[in-house]
Amino acid sequence: MAYDIYISLIFWFGDLNYRLYLEDNLARDLIKKQDWKALQQFDQLRREQEDGGVFQGWKEGNIKFAPTYKYSSSNCNRYSGGLPSRAGEKQRTPAWCDRILWYGKGVKQLSYLRSESKFSDHRPVSALFSTQIEVIKSTNPRFANMETFFPNIMTPESTGTSKNDKEAKSTLQSLILKDLEESPNTGEYCKTR
């Protein structure tokens, strides 16, 4: 029996270059207080999403970390600007330029963090996700079956074992099939034909 996996998830990450609609000194004051919730009220990306301008239907986890941009130089913990005596240094209001967004169903963000790596004037961000995928028994010969992508995986049907056979190999496909059969939400994310 051929099974097809359909994944309709998109992850968008990188320097999206969105800034804060806030004066520099006020932004720095909120950063010192670590009041991320208040600071997010001035985030350009979130405002444009709310106004229907960009990334409609996309989601982002709650930001609970300091802005990731712009540090004075690599290997420095001080935001650029803010000190008028620094010759040649551009005045930059710190902002969350570096973001991770996703689009699709069945995504749960487990973490959203910034790293303290100092190789750039940005601090990188990372996220950990748990996702659900839709596995459908294929009746269409035009779709590649799962064995095309996972050639060493054997289904219970192909090995002659039942779903209750405890000696069946724990392979990716058998785990997916087991999850599909035991899922109480089969109508929501996992559908079979």
| pTM of the predicted model over 0.85 | no
Residue 1 lies in a domain: no
Residue 4 lies in a domain: no
Residue-number span of the structural domain to which 151 is assigned: 144-182
Q: What is the pLDDT along the chain (193 residues), one digit of tens a residue?
A: 555 556 678 999 999 999 999 999 999 999 999 999 999 999 999 999 999 989 999 999 999 999 999 888 767 788 887 665 556 666 789 999 999 999 998 899 999 999 988 888 899 999 999 988 766 666 666 655 555 555 554 444 555 555 544 444 445 556 556 655 665 544 433 333 3
One domain, residues 18 and 111: yes
Residue 190 lies in a domain: no
Q: Is 8 in contact with 89 (CB distance < 8 Å)?
A: no
One domain, residues 125 and 155: no
Side-chain half-sphere CA neighbours of 78 within 13 A: 9
- Structure tokens of 14? 């990188």
Q: Is 162 in contact with 138 (CB distance < 8 Å)?
A: no
Residue 137 lies in a domain: no
Nearest to 82 by CA among 95, 97, 68, 72: 72
Look at the chain and report how many structural domains it folds into.
Answer: 2
CATH code, domain carrying 25: 3.60.10.10
One domain, residues 22 and 117: yes
Residue 80 lies in a domain: yes
One domain, residues 45 and 90: yes
Distance CA 120, CA 74 (A): 5
Residue 2 lies in a domain: no
Residue 193 lies in a domain: no
Distance CA 18, CA 96 (A): 7
